[in-house]
Structure 1
């Protein structure tokens, strides 16, 4: 390996205090051959490195996504390069455009722990690329010259301190995506699509009531889409109200079931429906999730009846007098109506309370 090097066509410029910066492409399996991962650790009392531990599940998920076949993967890897790399400028007037020059970058290939490059951002992606079946995928790389750990740490922090995409934004975008998705996103696509349909379809009881990331600041909405999406996702579990639906053929049947159920909720609680979550805990994320949990037993019974809408309405009418969405105290819980918050304790407690009421009140009378 002595004297071995990797040569790639690259563009060179300068940034900051005269630091050389390069942009080029590398086959995915070669990133970890030329660059080390500087792990964060303590050595003799001193802090060394800066990278987090490998997240195996995340690496495996990316590798699985990459192995599906031809994929778009434009996410750039950021490397810090040792001053020992060498840039050979191309000749001729076309090789330079303003402050950018083209040429060939020569990176020494060395054993692990002695390499001439370090991964600043993209270690999980780099590891996944080395394990994927499509290891020859050309990935973009941006690199800067610096063998100072302090500079590398500063860039690592700056790159990773940005706030990640909100879960709500991702959920709103998912229904419009038809490309192959990472494994962790696929289960979220159908609940997100159903939430979007409930937000927009004129037959939906939620039309005009759902808060979404894409809305302008002045737009009205009282139900947070994330709470409703979570409720629908729970309904889609195998034992849930919608778990037996064949979604491969579309979501129309599931959408109709949701419309029937939530329209009945609206009609059972007319004084609480459509208010802000501050004035009505039915419209609060906790209330939406609890009523979503109640849909499982009610719709399971109703779906097998001759008149599902009437069955749902009857079940909710039995429960309605015991509910305290806008005033009073919940008997059996010891909570005032406005004590309810979107915590796991309150969502679980309220859900279990409503399910218990349904079991007790739906028993046949002798």
Structure 2
């Protein structure tokens, strides 16, 4: 509720660290930026002030785009530091539950920027996105502690943000199971993650049992990291890629079939290199998977226009095979020994361009 020059919310109050009041309440998303300032990290007269980094505009835009989808679940609490001047009025009536938690009304002053009685400790990007989102009436949870001491605010900022984020591989493995609306960056990885799971689970897939997954640590036959394969599939699914014409309504089966056809031909073209640990075969190394994945784009684009795509892919890779050095020897004009290849942008890009150039040259009809 907004009343005069303040926002009044129902809140729960408890006490931590002996004497610091801590509140939990809900507030309209757009109101967070109205009651709380962002204490930017800067130096004034040689002294360090504030603690918040600059906003990440792309991140704010992604969150705002997610909010614009319509009704969404957004339970992540924003953490605020409150000035001691905020006012809490305990509700009348009998206490319910633990006496250490008190229900009541919290009054938060509405003031111009730079003079507010609250500061954002965690959730800066979310708060900015909520303020920018159109017609966003979403109630968001807030946890707030009373302290105007910037040293205490910095301490909490560091403690909240030092926690390790979820491992990207864990997120990738969970994505295929998600049915709710997802932010754009995660949505772009959902189909590749689902395809990676299908390639891993299908007994007929050339990758069956070869993919390292977080849910199956130490699998004895796994030699290809799921993250590398998913990154490769993201490239295949981009506009102009081998699978770029994919439409959500088509289902995953056509994509899975195309991938199995291509990678089965890779396995047949390099039988001595397939399925071995990356230390023994750079084909199964991230550099090899990424380069051969990029090669799928032109090879499959040509093959898909023929009456027998599988035969065309096999023929293309058979022409290329004599020039490849996955387990021994030196890579032609590159001058790299087979085991010199590393998971660096230089090696991945260099090997990819080498294979693409070879494919273009060998695919030209002889005169």
Range class of TM-score, shorter chain: over 0.9
SS of match in other structure, 2:190: helix
Q: Aligned pair in 2 of structure 1 residues 106, 272: CA closer, same or farther (>3 Å)?
A: same
SS of match in other structure, 2:30: helix
Q: Aligned pair in 2 of structure 1 residues 3, 257: CA closer, same or farther (>3 Å)?
A: closer
Counterpart of 1:64 in structure 2 is 65
Contact residue 212 and residue 219 of structure 2 kept, 8 A: no
Counterpart of 2:188 in structure 1 is 187
Report the more deviating stretch, 14-23 or 284-293: 14-23
1:193-232 alignment to 2 at 5 Å? 193-218=194-219, 220-232=221-233
Counterpart of 1:295 in structure 2 is 296
Counterpart of 2:329 in structure 1 is 328
CA shift for structure 1 position 345 = 0.6
Structure 1: unaligned runs, 5 residues or longer:
none
Counterpart of 2:130 in structure 1 is 129
SS of match in other structure, 1:71: coil
The TM-score with structure 1 as length reference comes to 0.95
Q: In the aligned structure 2, how far is the partner of 1:301 from the partner of 1:135?
A: 47
SS of match in other structure, 1:221: coil
CA shift for structure 1 position 195 = 1.4
Contact residue 66 and residue 134 of structure 1 kept, 8 A: no
CA shift for structure 1 position 98 = 4.0
Counterpart of 2:349 in structure 1 is 348
Counterpart of 1:273 in structure 2 is 274
Contact residue 80 and residue 118 of structure 1 kept, 8 A: yes
Report the more deviating stretch, 120-129 or 97-106: 97-106
Cα deviation, 1:199-254, whole Å, max 9, x if unaligned, reads 11122110111011222345541001111112111112222211234343212111
- Please state if 1:114 is matched with 2:115: yes
Q: In the aligned structure 2, how far is the partner of 1:235 from the partner of 1:325?
A: 22
SS of match in other structure, 2:314: helix
Q: In the aligned structure 1, how far is the partner of 2:267 from the partner of 2:9?
A: 64
Counterpart of 1:147 in structure 2 is 148
Aligned residue pairs total 366
Q: In the aligned structure 1, how far is the partner of 2:47 from the partner of 2:4?
A: 33
Counterpart of 1:304 in structure 2 is 305
Counterpart of 2:167 in structure 1 is 166
Contact residue 96 and residue 102 of structure 1 kept, 8 A: no
Contact residue 192 and residue 229 of structure 1 kept, 8 A: yes
Q: In the aligned structure 2, how far is the partner of 1:246 from the partner of 1:80?
A: 47
Q: Aligned pair in 2 of structure 1 residues 96, 237: CA closer, same or farther (>3 Å)?
A: closer
- Please state if 1:87 is matched with 2:105: no
Q: In the aligned structure 2, how far is the partner of 1:45 from the partner of 1:65?
A: 40
Q: In the aligned structure 2, how far is the partner of 1:38 from the partner of 1:96?
A: 36
SS of match in other structure, 1:91: coil
Cα deviation, 1:161-180, whole Å, max 9, x if unaligned, reads 12222222222222211222
Counterpart of 2:340 in structure 1 is 339
- Please state if 1:16 is matched with 2:21: no
CA shift for structure 1 position 115 = 1.1
Contact residue 69 and residue 134 of structure 1 kept, 8 A: no
Q: In the aligned structure 2, how far is the partner of 1:172 from the partner of 1:254?
A: 18
SS of match in other structure, 2:199: helix
CA shift for structure 1 position 354 = 1.0
RMSD: 1.8
Structure 2: unaligned runs, 5 residues or longer:
none
Q: In the aligned structure 1, how far is the partner of 2:128 from the partner of 2:66?
A: 13
Q: Aligned pair in 2 of structure 1 residues 245, 54: CA closer, same or farther (>3 Å)?
A: closer
Contact residue 2 and residue 110 of structure 1 kept, 8 A: no
Contact residue 82 and residue 117 of structure 1 kept, 8 A: yes
Q: In the aligned structure 2, how far is the partner of 1:320 from the partner of 1:342?
A: 22
SS of match in other structure, 1:39: coil
CA shift for structure 1 position 285 = 0.8
CA shift for structure 1 position 95 = 4.2
